[in-house]
């Protein structure tokens, strides 16, 4: 069997056994792609999950996307004829543009459990530090899914969200990305002689968030303080004097311990609390009327992994390279010129250097779709 035929057969098999039924299915635009292109056709619509399922089994698409927007006529063209009803908020957290130490080892194309946990932390930060406390969204209104490749998607859908204007969406994106945040407003006496006055944990907005996060890190220990970008020596000093420091901050006095170059120090900590992916968040939240996003529980054609929908409890212990594997069956003979080691299903494969041999289908397909492997033969 041709390798691509084998892969499509596996994709088809996957869709026979899975439930892909997004909310408001009949009001969304769908798009799909093949091995070469993430989108080869858009403006598709399905009246129910049965119809979508038949499509998925028949076409075995390598990529499947849907619109965060809901339309009266989702398959109409051009866009304005679709008649927009409203749109959910869709946030995309992706590690591609982050600068992480492990990426120096495996490159930007591949992932490992370290960078995937950074993506997870960012996703949780977005939910727990922003969407719930600052915007009042409820967990029941949120959907989380692994993107299928290098990150997570968070969808917020409720009647209030659907009706949000473009300006309101822009404000949400700006707030989360800390755009227009005025440091001098949060620390009014910074740069002046005398006591550094700053936010209290009970303050609204960014000020309160900074104070609460700092106190939390202070109570957790030096490692938590260091993850805010504080060097070890200062972190230890702050932790030793934590009772004093915390009492000060609760009263708006951030000057209980001497810190050199105060302004740089605190502005660095503030920067660390912004969601790392501001630009991507901005693009997704604000271009909602034309944008499509990966359909949860479908196969990602650049990895062969499932863009898996997750509950909050599942997210905690989820590792995509173990838990989002779609192709469990069969082996393939591949040739890999050069590739770093990967870890799937708790097993290390590689590093590869002119390697020819049999590997599980999920490893072979992953390396093939990522452009690292050539498939020589298929053992179904
Ligand atoms: Zn990594």
- The tokens 């409720």 sit on which residue? 158
146 and 288 share a domain? Answer: yes
With a cut of 80, say whether residue 4 has pLDDT above it. Answer: yes
Regarding whether 286 and 137 lie in a shared domain, the answer is: yes
Residues 7 and 85 in one domain: yes
Q: Give the span between the Cα atoms of 5 and 11, in whole angstroms.
A: 10
To the question of pTM greater than 0.85 for the whole model, the response is yes
Q: How far apart are the first and last CA of the chain?
A: 9
Query: Among 252, 272, 292, where does a domain finish?
Result: 272
- In this structure, are 313 and 239 located in the same domain? no
Calculate how far, in angstroms, residue 113's C-alpha sits from the geometric centre of ligand 1.
6
The Å distance, Cα 294 to ligand 1 centre, comes to 22
Query: What's the CA-to-centroid distance between 349 and ligand 1, angstroms?
Result: 15
Distance 205 CA to ligand 1 centre (A): 33
Ion ligand 1 contact residues with beta carbon within 5 A:
102, 112, 114-115
Residue-wise pLDDT tens digits, 130-142? 999 899 999 999 9
The Å distance, Cα 261 to ligand 1 centre, comes to 33
Can you give the CATH number for the domain in which 367 is found?
3.40.5
pLDDT of residue 81: 96
How is residue 334 written in tokens? 């591949």
Give the model's pLDDT for residue 289. Answer: 74
Find the 270 Cα to ligand 1 centroid distance in Å.
25
Mean pLDDT taken over the chain: 92
Share of the chain above pLDDT 90, in %: 71
Q: Could you tell me if 156 and 17 lie in one domain? A: yes
Distance 351 CA to ligand 1 centre (A): 14
d(CA 375, ligand 1 centre) in Å? 25
pLDDT of 227-277, one tens digit each? 888 999 999 999 999 999 999 999 999 999 888 888 888 888 888 777 766
Could you report the per-residue pLDDT of 342-353, keeping only the tens digit for each? 999 999 999 999
User: Ligand 1: distance of its center to the CA of 150 in Å?
Assistant: 10
Per-residue buried b or exposed e for 90-115, using 16+ beta carbons within 10 Å of the residue's own CB: bbbbbbeebebebbeebeeebbbeeb
Clarify whether residues 198 and 294 are in a common domain: no
Ligand 1 centre and the CA of 27: distance in Å? 38
Domain endpoint, select from 272, 299, 315: 272
* Count of domains forming the chain: 3
CB atoms near residue 81 (< 10 Å): 11
258 in the same domain as 111: no
Q: pLDDT tens, 318-335? A: 999 999 999 998 899 999
Residues 83 and 123 placed together within one structural domain of the fold = yes
Domain boundary residue among 323, 343, 359?
A: 323
CATH number at residue 318: 3.90.920.10
Clarify whether residues 342 and 254 are in a common domain.
no
User: Three-class SS string for 208-228?
Assistant: HHHHHHHHHHHHHCHHHHHCC
CA of 122 to the centre of ligand 1 (A): 15
Domain containing residue 232: 183-272
Q: What is the whole-number distance in angstroms between the Cα of residue 197 and the centre of ligand 1?
A: 39
Whether residue 160 is found in the same domain as residue 36 = yes
More confident site: 217 or 287 = 217
Q: Read off the pLDDT of each residue in 202-214 and give the average, rounded to a whole number.
A: 89
Task: Give me ligand 1 centre to Cα 121, in Å.
Answer: 14
Query: CA geometry: angle at 87 spanning 84 and 92, to 5°?
Result: 135
Cα of 142 vs centre of ligand 1, distance in Å, is 27
Q: What pLDDT score does 60 carry?
A: 98
* 197 shares its domain with 51: no
Q: How far is the CA of 108 from the centre of ligand 1 (A)?
A: 8
Q: 162 and 256: one domain?
A: no
Identify whether 220 is preceded by a cis peptide bond (ω within 30 of 0).
no
Q: 3-class DSSP state for residue 201?
A: coil
């Amino acid at each position: 069997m041709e390798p691509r035929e084998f892969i499509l057969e596996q994709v088809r098999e996957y869709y026979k056994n899975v439930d892909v039924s997004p909310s408001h299915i009949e009001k969304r635009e769908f798009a799909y792609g093949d091995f070469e292109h993430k989108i080869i056709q858009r403006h598709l619509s399905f009246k129910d999950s049965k119809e979508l399922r038949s499509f998925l089994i028949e076409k075995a698409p390598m990529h499947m996307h849907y619109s965060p927007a809901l339309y009266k006529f989702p398959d109409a063209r051009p866009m304005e004829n679709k008649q927009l009803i409203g749109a959910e908020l869709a946030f995309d957290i992706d590690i591609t543009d982050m600068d992480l130490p492990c990426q120096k080892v495996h490159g930007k194309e591949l992932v490992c459990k370290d960078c995937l946990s950074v993506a997870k932390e960012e996703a949780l930060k977005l939910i727990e530090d922003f969407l719930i406390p600052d915007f009042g969204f409820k967990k029941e209104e949120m959907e989380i899914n692994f993107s299928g490749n290098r990150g997570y998607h968070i969808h917020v859908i409720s009647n209030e969200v659907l009706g949000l204007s473009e300006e309101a969406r822009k404000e949400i994106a700006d707030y989360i990305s800390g755009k227009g945040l005025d440091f001098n407003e949060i620390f009014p006496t910074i740069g002046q002689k005398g006591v550094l006055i700053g936010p209290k944990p009970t303050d609204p907005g960014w000020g309160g968030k900074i104070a609460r996060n700092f106190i939390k890190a202070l109570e957790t220990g030096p490692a938590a303080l260091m993850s805010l970008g504080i060097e070890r020596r200062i972190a230890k000093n702050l932790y030793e004097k934590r009772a004093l420091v915390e009492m000060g901050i609760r009263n708006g006095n951030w000057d209980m311990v001497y810190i050199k170059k105060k302004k740089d120090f605190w502005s660095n900590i503030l920067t660390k609390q912004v969601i790392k992916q501001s630009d991507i968040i901005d693009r997704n939240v604000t271009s909602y009327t034309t944008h499509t996003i990966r359909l949860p529980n479908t196969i990602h054609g650049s990895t062969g992994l499932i863009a898996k929908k997750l509950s909050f409890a599942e997210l905690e212990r989820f590792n995509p390279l173990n838990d989002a594997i779609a192709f469990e069956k069969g082996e393939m003979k591949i040739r890999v010129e050069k590739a770093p080691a990967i870890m799937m299903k708790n097993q290390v494969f590689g590093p590869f250097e002119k390697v020819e041999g049999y590997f599980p289908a999920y490893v072979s397909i992953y390396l093939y779709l990522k452009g690292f492997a050539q498939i020589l033969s298929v053992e179904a």
